[in-house]
Amino acid sequence: MSISLTYFDFDGSRGLECRLALTAAGLAFEDIRLSRDQWLALKPATPFGALPILEEGGRKLAQSNAILGYIGRGHGLYPTDAWKAAQHDALMLSVEDLRQKLPDGKGMSEDEKKAAREAFAAGWLKQWATTTSAQIAGPFLEGDSLQVADIKLYVILRSYLSGTYDHIPPSTLDAYPKLLALHAAVDADPVIRGYFQAR
């Protein structure tokens, strides 16, 4: 059964999470990457008017966490215990909260953006990092087993550790060794490495 994933033409955020999950699951898929104009033309016909979209056998599934859950449950990348699975769901939702809380700087002066992001790093980001660290067995969430929630955490951590967001230096996360170790463990996974090397 053919599988495709549709997202914007860059390796980051929700699209990268789903591409890496499909790769970790060993699934061949068509990687459809849209330009802004292509997306605007397609948007009215999409579920929820958002990307990414997974298509399999003529069926479409939107929302990154739903896609990750579908891939994970079907390919050994999700806890089988209901409570653990719910905890992973909560962590993945917390990543979406983190994305929404990050000040984007629109309508702000540079000084205002700097102040807003510094406050975010000292407040919301610190709280998220502390709470998430406490749930990591090490190196992955459940010890030695890679799960889709690890991949989602890796992608958000990758964005902060690479200095994507101005006024939030990568060193902001130095105080959270479990987060750094999880990022390193996912990054070192041979399948994950293979994805990036093939790009």
Query: Candidates 3.90.850.10, 1.10.540.10, 1.20.1050.10, 1.10.620.20; correct CATH number of 82-189?
Result: 1.20.1050.10
**Which letter, b or e, does each residue of 8-42 get, where b requires 16 or more Cβ atoms within 10 Å of its Cβ?**
beebebbbbbbbbbbbbbeeebeebebeeeeeeee
pTM: 0.96
Rounded to 5 degrees, what are φ and ψ at 190?
-55, -40
Annotated domain spans of the chain: 3-75, 82-189
From 17, 21, 22, select the one nearest 3 (Cα to Cα).
Answer: 22
CATH of domain 3-75: 3.40.30.10
- At 60-88, the pLDDT tens digits run 999 999 999 999 999 999 999 999 999 99
> What is the per-residue pLDDT for 198?
87
Residue 33, phi-psi category: left (phi > 0), alpha (psi -120 to 50), beta (remainder): beta
> What is the per-residue pLDDT for 15?
97
The strands making up 59-62's β-sheet, listed across from edge to edge, are: 30-34, 3-8, 53-56, 59-62
- Ranges under pLDDT 50 in the chain: none
Pairing relationship of beta strands 53-56 and 3-8 according to DSSP bridges: antiparallel
Rounded to 5 degrees, what are φ and ψ at 110?
-65, -40
